[in-house]
């Protein structure tokens, strides 16, 4: 299968991004043709710092490699380096309804968060995402739950285009992980964990042990003392149980039994230890990669070339079917 997915260089990668997306990517790269992108053009739809932007992009490349993505098996590249993404995005905008864009949850949330800086790019974000995916004739898109609505719209845009201009794109499926599709904020467990929220609300993938301990110990929990999974009445502890379960590979019911009558403090201390241990290899690998700028650049350059071969084939077909191209 051809797989496509991406992450924005909008902030530091957290364990939600890892469990929702990266962990699936690692498994999928073994038996599929994977294309994993650093989607920088999506990040510029909200305020960002131009002076540190390239550094942020390189950090994401380091993250991809540090968690175990293998550039020999997968294509790793930066979205803005392949201009076909923006060309296709414009063409797809002609088969996308404004009503569909206005009802996207991410648009509603981000336009509330950045009230004074709502730009057309923020509204059109899902069209660019549809272009990213359809450009590679993608069959499956592994993402967290927050992105599922955008993939539904991608499918709709692809179908509409095929109906209007003839069979052009494969229609991709959404791949959600069975567990960890929506990791919640540590400080407001009714909200998802987000890169651009307060650092206290996230455990970053390369977080220092001291900070992991501090953030987990102070994570918002619910009234009562029982370690019980119930996302509606105990969202805080349920989120921590989910994290514990995935990182330890122990079912939630078994963890509940183990911590019966022990209270939140002991449970949180154990969870902090578990995270420190499980995230340590990522921190180590990141350190090794940090001084290898030339290697990173080569990987991204190779990735760009490989991505562009597929992208240009699709664009030839798109232009032809739309009646565009050489006169």
Distance CA 98, CA 81 (A): 28
Q: In sequence order, which residues have a C-beta less than 8 Å from that of residue 75 and are 6 or more positions away?
A: 34, 35, 36, 303, 306, 307
Asked if 298 is an active-site residue, the reply is no
At 36, phi and psi to the nearest 5? -120, 125
CB of 122 to ligand AQP, least distance (A): 11
| 7, 36, 55, 229, 234 from 245: Cα distances, Å | 24, 27, 34, 11, 16
Closest by CA to 239, choosing from 254, 220, 224, is 220
Q: In terms of residues, how long is the chain?
A: 327
Angle 157-158-163 (CA atoms, 0-180°, nearest 5)? Answer: 100
User: How close are the terminal C-alpha atoms of the chain, in Å?
Assistant: 36
Is 191 a known active-site residue?
no
Helix (H, G, I), strand (E, B) or coil at 6: strand
Nearest of 84, 83, 87, 2 to residue 36 by alpha carbon: 2
Binding site for ligand AQP (CB under 6 A): 7-8, 10-11, 16-17, 19-21, 143-144, 146-147, 181-183, 192-196
Residue 86, token pair as written in the block: 């923006």
Q: Which of 60, 182, 192, 215 is catalytic?
A: 192
> CB 67 → ligand AQP: shortest distance, Å?
12
Residue 294 CB, shortest distance to ligand AQP, in Å, is 26
Which residue lies nearer to ligand AQP by CB, 175 or 259?
Answer: 175
19 neighbors 203 (Cβ within 8 angstroms)? no
Q: Known catalytic residue: 173?
A: no
User: CB of 203: closest distance to ligand AQP in angstroms?
Assistant: 11
Closer residue to ligand AQP in complex, CB, 10/221 = 10
HSE on the CB side for 181, CA within 13 Å? 12
What are φ and ψ of residue 286, in 5° steps? -60, -45
Pairing outcome for strands 2-7 and 173-175: unpaired
Minimum Å gap between C-beta 56 and ligand AQP is 11
Residue placing its CB nearer to ligand AQP in the complex, 4 or 161: 4
Residue nearest to ligand AQP (CB): 20
Cβ distance to ligand AQP smaller for residue 143 or 299: 143
Question: 182, 195, 215, 234: which one is catalytic?
Answer: 195
Q: How far apart are CA 10 and CA 74, in angstroms?
A: 22
Catalytic residue of the set 60, 110, 234, 304: 110
Q: How far is the CB of 191 from ligand AQP (least distance, A)?
A: 9
> Known catalytic residues?
110, 192, 195
């Amino acid at each position: 299968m051809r797989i496509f997915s991406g992450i924005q260089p909008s902030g530091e990668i957290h364990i939600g991004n890892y469990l929702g997306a990266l962990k699936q990517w690692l498994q999928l790269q073994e038996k599929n043709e994977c294309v994993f992108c650093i989607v920088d053009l999506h990040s510029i739809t909200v305020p960002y710092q131009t002076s540190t932007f390239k550094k942020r992009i390189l950090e994401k490349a380091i993250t991809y490699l540090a968690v175990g993505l293998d550039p020999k098996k997968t294509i790793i590249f930066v979205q803005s380096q392949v201009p076909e993404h923006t060309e296709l995005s414009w063409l797809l905008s002609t088969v996308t309804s404004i009503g569909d864009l206005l009802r996207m949850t991410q648009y509603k949330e981000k336009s509330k968060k950045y009230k004074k800086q709502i730009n057309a790019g923020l509204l059109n974000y899902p069209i660019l995402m549809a272009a990213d995916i359809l450009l590679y004739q993608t069959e499956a898109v592994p993402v967290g739950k927050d992105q599922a609505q955008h993939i539904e719209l991608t499918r709709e845009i692809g179908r509409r285009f095929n109906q209007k201009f003839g069979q052009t794109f494969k229609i991709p499926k959404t791949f959600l992980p069975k567990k960890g599709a929506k990791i919640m904020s540590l400080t407001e467990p009714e909200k998802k964990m987000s890169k651009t929220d307060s650092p206290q609300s996230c455990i970053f993938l390369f977080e220092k042990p001291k900070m992991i301990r501090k953030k987990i110990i102070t994570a918002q929990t619910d009234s009562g003392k029982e370690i019980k999974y119930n996302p509606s009445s105990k969202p805080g502890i349920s989120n921590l149980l989910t994290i514990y379960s995935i990182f330890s590979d122990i079912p939630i019911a078994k963890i509940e039994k183990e911590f019966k009558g022990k209270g939140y403090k002991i449970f949180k201390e154990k969870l902090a230890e578990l995270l420190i241990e499980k995230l340590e290899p990522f921190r180590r690998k990141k350190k090794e990669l940090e001084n290898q700028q030339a290697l990173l650049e080569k990987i991204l350059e190779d990735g760009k070339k490989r991505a562009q071969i597929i992208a240009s084939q699709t664009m030839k077909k798109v232009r032809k079917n739309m009646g565009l191209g050489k006169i």
